[in-house]
Each structure stands twice: as structure tokens, then as C-alpha cells.
Amino acid sequence: MTRSTRRTHRTLRAAGAGAALLLALTACSSASDTGSSASPQVSGTVTVFAAASLEESFTKLGTQFERQYPGTKVTFSFGGSDSLAASITGGAPADVFAAASPKTMKIVTDAGGTSGTPTTFVRNQLEIATLPGNPDKISSLKDLTGSGLKAVLCDESVPCGAAAKKALDASKLELTPVSYEQDVKGALTKVELKEADAAVVYKTDVRAAGDKVTGVDFPESADAINDYPIALLKDAPNAEAAQAFIDLVKSADGQKVLTEAGFLTP
């Protein structure tokens, strides 16, 4: 926490940083208050910006939230974490940000956009998505480097690509894919449509794709597990309800939905 505060100090001008810090601290304490008491004030619309890989589980949690707090409505904007971070720092009216990597969350915290420190709520592991039934008998990352096999990776600039690169580097493998996709769903689609033989994606994406792909665990994925941070935003139009949603995500119920989708608990 102190490091991130110091960083904020460096990047922002002194006055702005002071104000942001003050706001962050007050919001932090008030946030924990609302968290402990199941306050009846929770109402209205909560706007959640979440990484694309969270779409299935967060949609489910949104319905659960609306049932738990009648009169509330959760609206989601799912997308690449980087684009979401850019919209938030650009002033998009969001309450909660759930990112697919600490790096993308840092874009928002560095701009003083979060209220309090982001916390890791789930982790995601990489998996190889192959054609249904794994006809090419892929069992490790090394198998993807074989010639004649069309493999797809995410671009290094997006979290899934950075994680894949980390895993490849850790096992000293050189992999030339046919394409560096702009996001994880793009990579998965290429295998779903059978245009590529394999893609390195998240476990959760393989799970969500059902029987259109077969997932293959690979040992190197242990070297690249992605933390997913969630944070209440400083300019949240509906901070009470937003905090209640974050509490739900972190609760045992929420974690159950997320692990069912293939996420790992932090």
C-alpha cells in the first residue's frame, strides 16, 4: 500500500495526490463500514467494468446481486482490461473495476482512479485449447512448437499474451504462432472455428467454450498465473451498492460461482 501511495505521489502533482490520498483513505474506512453491516441503503444502478474473461461468472453474480438487493440493477461493460482502464481514466462513469491483470489495474490506481487498494479476488491459469478431442495429441507447451501445427497466442500487450510469454520464457521455448490475437476470445475463436489447431488461453475460457474445444493442462502454466484485482472507483456514482457488489464477489457464494467457471481462489 505504501509503495503504491508513493508512486501516486510521484506521478501526480502534490496537491492532486494529497486530495486523492485523503479521498482514498476516507473511502477505505467508509467502505469497510458498509461491508460489515448489510445496509438497507443499497439501491440503484451499479456499473461494473470487468475483464472479458469474467463475463459468464459476473453476469451470474449480477443476477444474484439483484435478487439479494431488490431495487438494484447491475450493468456490465465487459472488454479488454486495457481498454476498460483507458475508459475509466478517461472519465467513464463506472463504480467497480475488475481487471485481468495487476498491470491494467495499475493504470487506474496510478491515475488516482481507485478508492482504496485493489484486492486480488481470483486467479486464472493458462491452458491449451485444442480442437475437440485433441486430435493432434498435444500434451505440453513444447508440442505447440512443432512445425505444421497452427498455434495462436494472444499479443504480448494483453494479459493472456504476457502470461503465455512468461510460461514460454520460463521453459525456454521458442514458439512462432500463426497469429498474435488482440484478446483471449479472439484466440479462442480461431480454435472454435477450427482455423487454428491450438491456442494458449485461460482455463476459464476453455470451460466457457464447452465442447467446442478440449482443454489441455500444461505444467509450464504454473509459472504464469494471473491475479485478478478488483477495486471500488473513486468517482463511483453509487459507492454503497458498488461496495456491496465487491463484497458479494469476495464472499463464499461469489467465490463458488467463480471457481465453478474455472478460476482459482487467491
Q: Which of 193, 210, 211, 252 binds other proteins (CB under 8 A)?
A: 193
Q: Which of 124, 127, 148, 133 shows the shortest CA–CA distance to 213?
A: 133
Out of 152, 206, 213, 231, point to the residue binding other proteins (CB under 8 A): 152
Q: Work out which of 177, 215, 254, 262 binds other proteins, going by CB under 8 A.
A: 177
Query: Quick one: which segment of 110-118, 154-162, 212-220, 251-259 binds other proteins (CB under 8 A)?
Result: 154-162
Was 184 annotated as part of a binding site?
yes
Please pick, from the candidates 55, 127, 155, 205, the single residue that binds other proteins as defined by CB under 8 A.
155
Shortest CB 63 distance to other proteins, Å: 27
Which residue number, 6 or 194, has a Cβ lying nearer to other proteins? Answer: 194
CA dihedral 121, 252, 116, 39 (to 10 degrees): 150
- The CA-based diameter of the chain, rounded to the nearest angstrom, is 61
Q: How far is CA 253 from the centre of its chain?
A: 19
Using rule CB under 8 A, residue 136 touches other proteins: no
Our finding on whether 184 is near other proteins (CB under 8 A) is no
Q: Are 5 and 21 in contact (CB under 8 A)?
A: yes
Edge-first strand listing for the sheet containing 226-233 = 72-79, 44-51, 96-98, 226-233, 114-124
| Residue whose C-alpha cell is 502454466 | 221
CB closer to other proteins, 80 vs 116: 80
Q: Is 178 an interacting residue with respect to other proteins (CB under 8 A)?
A: yes
| Interacting positions 194-223 with other proteins (CB under 8 A) | 194-196
Which three three-digit cell numbers place residue 138? 498435444
CA 167 to chain centre: 18
Work out how close the CB of 109 gets to other proteins at its nearest, in angstroms, rounded to a whole number.
Answer: 17
Based on the shown chain and the rule CB under 8 A, indicate whether residue 82 belongs to the binding site for other proteins: yes
69 in a known ligand binding site? no
Among 180, 212, 225, 255, binds other proteins (CB under 8 A): 180
Q: C-beta of 224: minimal distance to other proteins in Å?
A: 18
Which residue ranges make up the site for other proteins (CB under 8 A)? 80, 82-83, 86, 150, 152, 155, 157-158, 177-182, 186, 189-190, 193-196
